[in-house]
Amino acid sequence: MPQLSGSMCAHSNEEESPMLIWGFKTLFKTLSEGVFFCPQCGGDRSYQLKLARRWFTLFFIPVFTYKQDGVHVECQVCKGTFAETALQRQTNAAMALGKRDAMRAVAFSILRTAGTPSAAARAKAAEAISSVVSSAGAYTVAELDAEWATAHIDLEGTLVPLGDAMQGGGREWLLSWAVAIASVDGEVSAAERALLDRIGALLQMSSAHVAGVVATAQRGARA
Ligand SMILES: [Zn+2]
């Protein structure tokens, strides 16, 4: 799959000797393939990691590698090319799974703080987890009942990476769901309020920011 042709030069030694045709051509070798978030066409796309090598050609046939021109990532949809660092960004699918894990950790923590959560609180928690659209599909109350009391919870491990990655209203949205679960059975208790503060802090929100989101979400829950 030659993409670029090097300059072709024709050399003639003596009048009677055969013409020696040589040149350079860049060939690409695919090192790996996968799915990445394409910064150009803006979505999860297939990519190929390619190594560009400049070959010396003789009679149009590559004879030896003249030099390596480095690696790049090529989007298989828009054909845009990027530095290898483009692979470090999370795909949308990975981001959705991360958000789902975070919502699950938040919902379970609130339920455990409540002690014996009501059916309404558990239904609200399942709704919160389902609201994170991911390849995992809907999350049922039956699944929640099998998990919430005993599953391993890692609030720090799931929330801290999201605090870095979530843009715009993502953190407020997550915290608002936590308030909604906590206030289904009435007022938010002191223990639940302390947990909301901790969740906000892990998402790198100031305490004033958290207080504002909690007040707004509580007004919404009462209305
Ligand atoms: Zn693309």
Give residue 168's pLDDT.
65
- The residue-averaged pLDDT of 103-122 equals 93
CB of 43 closer than 8 Å to CB of 92: yes
Give residue 5's pLDDT.
44
- How far does the centroid of ligand 1 lie from the alpha carbon of residue 22, in Å? 36
Give residue 223's pLDDT.
66
- How far does the centroid of ligand 1 lie from the alpha carbon of residue 32, in Å? 17
Instruction: Please tell me the distance from the alpha carbon of residue 21 to that of residue 59, in angstroms, as a whole number.
Output: 5
Domain with CATH 1.10.3680 in the chain: 92-222
Contacts of 151 (CB under 8 A, 6+ apart): 104, 108
- How far does the centroid of ligand 1 lie from the alpha carbon of residue 31, in Å? 18
Give residue 220's pLDDT.
78
Which CATH number fits the domain 92-222, given the four candidates 1.10.287, 1.10.20, 3.30.450, 1.10.3680?
A: 1.10.3680
- How far does the centroid of ligand 1 lie from the alpha carbon of residue 100, in Å? 26
Does residue 124 have a pLDDT over 70? yes
pLDDT in tens, 42-90: 999 999 999 999 999 999 899 998 888 899 999 999 999 999 999 998 8
Instruction: Please tell me the distance from the alpha carbon of residue 181 to that of residue 191, in angstroms, as a whole number.
Output: 14
Which of these, 165, 95, 101, 175, lies nearest to 139 by C-alpha position?
101
- Here the tokens at position 15 are 């009048």
- How far does the centroid of ligand 1 lie from the alpha carbon of residue 43, in Å? 7
CB of 137 closer than 8 Å to CB of 112: no
For residue 138, the tally of other CB atoms under 10 A from its CB is: 11
Instruction: Please tell me the distance from the alpha carbon of residue 2 to that of residue 219, in angstroms, as a whole number.
Output: 64
Which of these, 73, 80, 70, lies nearest to 26 by C-alpha position?
70
Least confident of 7-11, 27-31, 65-69, 99-103: 7-11
Mean pLDDT of the chain: 87
